């Protein structure tokens, strides 16, 4: 990849990153902090996740968990989507006000 200038905005559903292939999980693999120096990671807080009806962000395991209960699964996913829109609006408000810098934390 060609070098870039500026920041990389990375919305993610976890507050951490793991370097891996999509189909392989290696818990010991960590992303080097040097590779993240220009990355702004946006993720839901644990409080946000706990406030969702499932107590977590919906994921693909819900298809099995809510098998033959599509209406319930879809309702829960739509709730999370609506709440995510609220989170996006809060982020944009912080960017426009300049308060976003005060909310940044280093990725460790």
- Predicted confidence (pLDDT) per residue in 52-107, tens digit: 999 999 999 999 999 999 999 999 999 999 998 988 898 899 999 999 888 888 77
**CB of 77 closer than 8 Å to CB of 58:** yes
Which of 8, 31, 27 lies closest to 108, judged by CA? 31
Provide the pLDDT for residue 2: 60
Give pTM, 2 decimals: 0.67
Which of 58, 52, 43 lies closest to 13, judged by CA? 43
Sort residue 98 into left (φ over 0), alpha (ψ -120 to 50) or beta. Answer: left
Least confident of 27-31, 36-40, 68-72, 74-78: 27-31
């Amino acid at each position: 990849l060609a070098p870039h200038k500026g920041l990389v905005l990375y919305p993610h559903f976890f507050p951490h990153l793991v370097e891996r292939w999509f189909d392989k999980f290696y818990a010991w693999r960590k992303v080097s902090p040097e590779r993240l120096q220009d990355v702004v990671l946006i993720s839901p807080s644990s409080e946000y996740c706990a406030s969702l009806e499932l107590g977590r962000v919906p994921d693909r395991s819900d298809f099995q968990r809510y098998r033959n209960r599509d209406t319930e699964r879809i309702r829960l996913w739509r709730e999370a989507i609506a709440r995510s829109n609220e989170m996006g609006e809060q982020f944009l408000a912080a960017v426009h006000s300049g308060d976003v810098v005060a909310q940044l934390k280093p990725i460790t």
